[in-house]
Structure 1
Amino acid sequence: MFSLSASPAFVKSGTRGLRTCCVVLKQKRKSPFKRLVEPIETRQRPRSVQKKPTVAGAQHAERKKSGESTLPVLETFDSGEFKRNESLVSKIKSFDELKLEPDVRRAVVGSIREQTVLRAQNYEKHSIHNQDPEQLEIAPSPIQTITIHHLAKHLMEPNMKIYTVAAETGSGKTWAYLAPLVDYLKQQESLPSWEAKMNKALVRSVILVPTHELTNQVYETVSPLRDSLGLHCAKWDYSVSHEEFIKQFKDRIDILITTPGKLQTLEKIRVISKPEHILQQTTFVIVDEADTLMDRSFIEDTYASFKRMPNISRMILCSATISNQYNVALQKIFPTSEPELLISPRMHKAPKNIQFKMVDCEIAPYQGSKMKALVQIMYAIYKDGTEQNYEKRSVIFVNNKQDVSKVTHKLKSYGHDVVSLTGDDSPAERAQLIHDFVSPPKLLKDKDEAKTKVEYETIPGSNIQIKKTLPDDGGDDQEYKRMKVLVTSDVSSRGLNFFGVRNVILYDSPNTPVDLLHRIGRTGRMGQPGRVFLITDKKTKNWVKQFMKKRGARN
């Protein structure tokens, strides 16, 4: 742990004798955080040092030499790490075999039962929506097993521990980090010091996420813990005022879910003195979607958030991808304390049950028109006979937000029920637009009844009326209203738990492997079936085609 000194160090700047102020870390003991004065991106880089070749690097070079498809930019790992974790996963088959407090275990298993994506009714062969929740056998996913097992070894030790939890999209990472966090909080409550803290205004732990949509998603996941374990959970997003936040703070916040940007507004709170001290007693921090929060767009706010919490003893950085740039950022922030890597055996791999398909728009009948290829794909999805009696969902990804409106307008002209979402939409607008895609699929009969006109016919010579139902006047295009379509950019590709989305269409080729894996990960979640369609043209990068072909896709 470390504390931040309030004593400024003054440095002369320029001929005018101006002085600038920087915060200096006053060490209680060796801090895992690097002393930063300049912004991370602008600091002078050290001279390059010749590194010894690693096993992972040698494997990566060998695969590249042999012509095997690889994903550039993404980190490679020592195969020994995978084998050790695979062995652990093969031995542990139940939450009962993991070291958790009994009350915590019951709460975690109960929440997973209620929230699992397996309850999506449109999964014909894999759905569990007709089963009694109490009869379901809930087993930990591989990354949940690995994370809970390793963190339990040193969970309550006072010295600083930092972990990177890395697993493929849709693998259950949220409960992988929540279970140790909740166990930590409940074990704290059994200590003699808890009685003096339990009624104080404090924030015990913080979960940082990049977007307000994810803030709400994680909050909905943890909020039932108030009833089951007495934990006070709070979110701080666009919908929560400073007054509401402070009211919750005074009642004690055990788990706070927010964004780094929101934490930078603490000084604007006027209803209490010294609001910058609100996070002084926070000891457990989780960085969800860490690859995003460590990139150039977020890194300064993320690091500033860390500095607001000087008494951190546990930190989990959770990500679906680990790039070389991500590792560089970690080394700059934690130069003296390298995070322990907890990695899924399927890291940087696409979900197993996804079918990959490619459509070449350069050939007949498309003749170079990606839009014609897209319309044909949408027609095929609608007519494929899957998801009987349930509303279908499809997500279309494009690279440029200017193309979002163009694709949306064209699909609407064909009668599709389409919504579009970009970074220009406000958080409130985005929450409303994605609602249908993060909620369970609807029965079509419910939609039909809602859209039915009702008339009554009186039998001549009596007072008896017969109810007549007439179809909506939507015409032929109305049948496409049975499928929901979202057109979006990468703003919707990170972390969102799309519920029952079976189809992802890559209208544009992703720019990076990170973008590719995150887009693919919006379907096939928790081992459920899904399909990914890639529209190719002359501009499609070869590594993207190789990735798709390696997984069975053919033009």
Structure 2
Amino acid sequence: MSFADLGLSEDLLKAVEEAGYTEPTPIQAQAIPPILMMKDIIGIAQTGTGKTASFVLPMIDVMASGRRRALMPRSLILEPTRELAAQVAENFEKYGKNHDLKMALLIGGVQMGDQVKALNEGVDVLIATPGRLMDLFERGKILLNGCELLVIDEADRMLDMGFIPDIEFICDKLPENRQTMLFSATMPPPIEKLAKKFMSNPKRIETARAATTNKDITAFKIPVETRKKRETLRWLLNHDHVETAIIFANRKTTVRELNKSLQRHGFASSEIHGDMDQASRIKELDRFKKGEVNILVASDVAARGLDIKGVSHVFNFDTPWHPDDYVHRIGRTGRAGAKGRAFTFVSKEDAEAIQNVEKLTKNEISVFGKKDVRVDLVEPSKKDEAEERPAKPKRAEREDRSERKEREDKPKRARDKAADESRAEKPKRSRRRDERDDEPTKPGEWNGPVPTFLEVSAT
């Protein structure tokens, strides 16, 4: 199947082709036709499978006809975070370049002036976070009674962040005769209840069981003591063929401290968390996307929806407190058919959290072991230890009687001279171990001892 089979316009197909896409993902193939038919949609799919394009593409065609009015957006997309909202805006700019559509982005952390100006001029597509939208609504800067289409993206994240009351308030202000779409990788009961309340006979599209992880991601858990997490992380970063990686931590203080530690050890890393202003967060994300740094240490502000191509690894420095966050965190890798690896560090205090993750995903995470290591490990052997010891000189008992008698008959000065000459003629001590250490290590190979964390059994 191609995008042309889904009923999209020629101008939109041209933009999709220029973006480098030829075949739709399962969620796109199943969601786009009913959206074009103006049906309500509940879309459940694994993260990284193209949910954003599944509603952005048909929305562009749906919004192509109609007239803009000041302060009254024609469609509304609600996103849980600023980064995700900005990413959806980028998608509209990329795919809607052949259409005369105006878009506005309402997010916190930036001045309201330009946002209010855009609303006054009229917008076809409004992308917003609930907090900033509520703020402008209460100031009388925006009217919602002209909205024909509503998208609630990452709905379960909205629940976690406490946005459900705001969403209910917003939905009450929208016209009843509208098209509503709800998308998420997980679907807890409160979100199901929200869907039933504000949607009319929705079509449920589930390309994979809710809360499942991507088949292209190889996931491991590593039992490790808390004090050895940093050492273990550095070893994996150096020896697991890491190209680009996102490292998630539960606390913002941990994010800052871990980033500084990695930089001290020579890694090109950066950080992103909720205490940073919007401009700084965008700057650090751009540095990561451009390859100026290949490691991004993040709080869960980066766990949902961010589509950064080429992320080869995800590390959960802390096991996430909420099991849903595990699905979204590791979903930053293995995107668009690429392969990825995910590691979760499990300390004693994380035992309950990792059990909740495995209960949610209905899948036991494999313990990382020697068979999973991508480099050659060298076990310290007794032979190597023996080679490191200096060779002991032969004792006098091994000399025959005639040699000993001849030596005893020599004057003391002659004996000393003979001893000096004997020592000078002795071969140099074996340095096989040291010479091996001096040899350059080939890329992707490890010639050191087995790391201690690989000796820890599963818990």
Q: TM-score, normalised by structure 1?
A: 0.60
For 2:274 and 2:165, locate their aligned partners in 1 and report how far apart those are by CA, in whole Å.
Answer: 20
Match of residue 327, structure 1, among 192, 197, 205:
192
2:219 corresponds to: 356
Match of residue 204, structure 1, among 74, 78, 86:
74
Query: Does residue 94 of the first structure (1) align with residue 7 of the second (2)?
Result: no
Deviations 1:448-506 (A, max 9, x none): xxxxxxxxxxxxxxxxxxxxxxxxxxxxxxxxxxx622222212101111232111111
Q: After superposition, where does 1:61-460 map in structure 2 within 5 Å?
A: 93-107=1-15, 109-110=16-17, 113-114=18-19, 138-152=22-36, 154-155=37-38, 161-186=39-64, 189=65, 194=66, 197=67, 202-225=72-95, 227-238=97-108, 241-267=111-137, 269=139, 275-276=141-142, 278-295=143-160, 297-331=162-196, 333-334=197-198, 337=200, 339-345=202-208, 347-361=210-224, 369-381=228-240, 384=241, 392-437=243-288, 439-441=289-291
Deviations 1:100-154 (A, max 9, x none): 33333333x23xx42xxxxxxxxxxxxxxxxxx5xxx6011000001013333x4
CA contact (8 A) 1:212 1:238 kept: yes
For 2:363 and 2:188, locate their aligned partners in 1 and report how far apart those are by CA, in whole Å.
Answer: 23
For 1:306 and 1:211, locate their aligned partners in 2 and report how far apart those are by CA, in whole Å.
Answer: 19
Return the offset for 1:409: 2.9
Structure 2: which amino acid aligns with 1:106?
K
Return the offset for 1:200: 6.0
Question: Structure 1 residues 94, 553: closer, same or farther in 2, change over 3 A?
Answer: farther
Structure 2: which amino acid aligns with 1:356?
A
CA contact (8 A) 2:31 2:41 kept: no
For 1:243 and 1:407, locate their aligned partners in 2 and report how far apart those are by CA, in whole Å.
Answer: 37
CA contact (8 A) 2:219 2:342 kept: yes
Return the offset for 1:228: 0.3
Return the offset for 1:306: 1.8
Which is greater in Rg? 2
CA contact (8 A) 1:225 1:231 kept: no
Structure 2: which amino acid aligns with 1:103?
D
CA contact (8 A) 2:220 2:365 kept: no
Structure 2: which amino acid aligns with 1:327?
E
Question: What SS class does the counterpart of residue 140 from structure 1 fall into?
Answer: coil
Higher relative contact order (Cα pairs below 8 Å, separated by 6+ residues): 1
Match of residue 323, structure 2, among 513, 517, 526:
513
CA contact (8 A) 2:116 2:141 kept: no
CA contact (8 A) 2:104 2:126 kept: yes
For 2:297 and 2:104, locate their aligned partners in 1 and report how far apart those are by CA, in whole Å.
Answer: 31
Question: Structure 1 residues 499, 441: closer, same or farther in 2, change over 3 A?
Answer: farther
Aligned-residue Cα RMSD (Å) equals 2.8
Q: TM-score, normalised by structure 2?
A: 0.72
Return the offset for 1:311: 4.9
1:475 corresponds to: none
Question: What SS class does the counterpart of residue 138 from structure 1 fall into?
Answer: coil
CA contact (8 A) 2:246 2:315 kept: yes
Question: Structure 1 residues 423, 501: closer, same or farther in 2, change over 3 A?
Answer: same
For 1:296 and 1:506, locate their aligned partners in 2 and report how far apart those are by CA, in whole Å.
Answer: 20
Question: Structure 1 residues 239, 406: closer, same or farther in 2, change over 3 A?
Answer: closer
Structure 2: which amino acid aligns with 1:350?
T
Deviations 1:161-204 (A, max 9, x none): 53211110110111101122122222xx2xxxx4xx45766311
Question: Structure 1 residues 395, 295: closer, same or farther in 2, change over 3 A?
Answer: closer
Question: Structure 1 residues 246, 411: closer, same or farther in 2, change over 3 A?
Answer: closer
Structure 2: tracts of 5 or more residues without a match: 370-459
Percentage of identical aligned residues: 30
Deviations 1:275-318 (A, max 9, x none): 35x22211101111111123461112222222332355101111
1:530 corresponds to: 340
Structure 1: which amino acid aligns with 2:9?
E
Query: Does residue 487 of the first structure (1) align with residue 353 of the second (2)?
Result: no
For 1:199 and 1:398, locate their aligned partners in 2 and report how far apart those are by CA, in whole Å.
Answer: 44
Deviations 1:58-113 (A, max 9, x none): xxxxxxxxxxxxxxxxxxxxxxxxxxxxxxxxxxx111221233333333x23xx4
Deviations 1:5-59 (A, max 9, x none): xxxxxxxxxxxxxxxxxxxxxxxxxxxxxxxxxxxxxxxxxxxxxxxxxxxxxxx
Ranges of 4+ aligned residues in structure 1 off by more than 6 Å? 545-549
For 2:283 and 2:246, locate their aligned partners in 1 and report how far apart those are by CA, in whole Å.
Answer: 16
For 2:227 and 2:121, locate their aligned partners in 1 and report how far apart those are by CA, in whole Å.
Answer: 61
Return the offset for 1:432: 1.8
CA contact (8 A) 1:418 1:485 kept: yes
Structure 2: which amino acid aligns with 1:275?
K
Aligned residues: 365
CA contact (8 A) 2:108 2:131 kept: no
Structure 2: which amino acid aligns with 1:361?
V
Q: Greater helix percent: which structure?
A: 2
CA contact (8 A) 2:44 2:208 kept: no
Question: Structure 1 residues 431, 222: closer, same or farther in 2, change over 3 A?
Answer: same
